């Protein structure tokens, strides 16, 4: 089954945060063999200079692709404009203010290569920045946040993870996104980031045409490595760092989808919708 992953940090031992253009093309070649048809290399935080270099390498790889490679859609800039209260495995010292100026320094000449930017909306200066991103046809995702606002978001970064948990005591982003019929929601459906019962609840409540299955895969996925360095931390082949924080999935999206089908959580038709058709339509891809 063909899949499109709009949120993936690497695999086959390759980390998009430090990968050369050659390594990114190699990843794309390996990915296509695994039925990953297209993907957004997803970046964690760094200095504006470091991020610009990473995006440049993705730009180079993207513009010399061959027919035996999965399509490099463009960058998902996740680890930059986040809340220090909800860093997950990422390093909060790398987070920057969500401003147009900071984004321009990061993107440089490669704004067209950025497809998704993740923002914690409680940060200052968000409104003008969001308007700027939308003027560039860049999708705005809310995530790694304590906010419960959906205003300005096109999508939600990995629903339930790195946000306030659902509770009957107050409104949270997770609850609002779960109930909203228009917004798109990423979902890591490996049954580790979100348990089976909550997956079933989500598939019952959310319009399935608004769910995008993602892997959030780590560089250790589909590799023989026992551990990796990721965001300055040692992450084990289980996906957890040495402090027990879940850093990402150790499965690629085609494996996640296959497991969901085998466990009877979703049908093949639903899998095709949420792991291929929805991201294709969302990012207006021609494949």
Whether 79 contacts 40, CB under 8 Å: no
What average pLDDT does range 87-108 have in this prediction? 95
What are the C-alpha distances in Å from 22 to residues 12, 58, 231, 234? 14, 10, 22, 25
Cα dihedral sign, 6-8-9-14 = negative
Q: What is the pLDDT of residues 111-133, one digit of tens each?
A: 999 999 999 999 766 899 999 99
Q: Kindly report the pTM of this predicted structure.
A: 0.97
- 3-class secondary structure, 235: strand
Whether 149 contacts 127, CB under 8 Å: no
Q: Is the pLDDT of residue 68 over 80?
A: yes
Q: b/e map of 120-141 (b: 16 or more CB within 10 Å)?
A: bbebeebeebbebbeeeebbbb
Whether 119 contacts 142, CB under 8 Å: yes
Phi, psi of 29 (to 5 degrees): -70, -45
Distance CA 99, CA 80 (A): 11
Distance CA 204, CA 201 (A): 5
Residues 6+ apart with CB under 8 A from 257: 1, 3, 189, 213, 271, 275
Distance CA 172, CA 159 (A): 11
What average pLDDT does range 227-237 have in this prediction? 91
User: What topology is assigned to 3-282 in CATH?
Assistant: TIM Barrel (3.20.20)
- pLDDT for 164 equals 94
Q: Which two tokens stand for residue 56?
A: 């440049």
- 3-class secondary structure, 5: strand
The β-bridge relationship of strands 184-188 and 211-214 is: parallel
Q: Which two tokens stand for residue 63?
A: 């513009």
Residues 6+ apart with CB under 8 A from 22: 61
Q: What is the pLDDT of residues 148-206, one digit of tens each?
A: 999 999 999 999 999 999 889 999 999 999 999 999 999 999 999 999 999 999 999 99
């Amino acid at each position: 089954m063909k899949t499109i992953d709009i949120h993936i940090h690497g695999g086959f031992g390759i980390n998009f945060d430090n990968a050369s253009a050659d390594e990114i093309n190699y990843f794309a070649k390996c990915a296509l063999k695994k039925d990953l048809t297209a993907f957004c290399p997803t970046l964690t935080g760094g200095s504006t200079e470091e991020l610009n270099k990473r995006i440049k390498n993705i730009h180079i790889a993207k513009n010399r692709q061959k027919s035996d490679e999965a399509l490099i859609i463009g960058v998902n800039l996740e680890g930059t404009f986040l809340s220090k209260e909800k860093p997950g495995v990422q390093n909060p010292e790398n987070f920057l203010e969500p401003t147009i100026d900071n984004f321009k320094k990061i993107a440089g000449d490669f704004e067209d290569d950025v497809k998704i930017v993740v923002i914690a909306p409680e940060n200052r200066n968000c409104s003008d920045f969001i308007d700027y991103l939308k003027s560039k046809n860049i999708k705005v995702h809310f995530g790694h946040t304590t906010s419960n606002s959906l205003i300005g978001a096109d999508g939600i970064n990995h629903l339930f993870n790195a946000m306030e948990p659902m509770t009957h005591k107050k409104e949270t982003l997770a609850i609002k996104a779960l109930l909203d019929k228009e917004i798109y929601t990423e979902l890591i459906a490996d049954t580790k980031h979100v348990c089976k019962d909550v997956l079933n609840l989500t598939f019952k409540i959310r319009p399935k045409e608004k769910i995008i299955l993602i892997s959030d895969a780590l560089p250790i996925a589909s590799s023989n490595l026992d551990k990796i360095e990721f965001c300055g931390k040692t992450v084990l082949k289980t996906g957890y760092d040495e402090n027990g924080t879940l850093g990402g999935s150790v499965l690629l999206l085609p494996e996640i989808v296959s497991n969901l089908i085998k466990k009877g959580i979703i049908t093949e038709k639903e899998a095709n919708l949420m792991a291929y058709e929805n991201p294709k339509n969302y990012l207006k891809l021609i494949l």
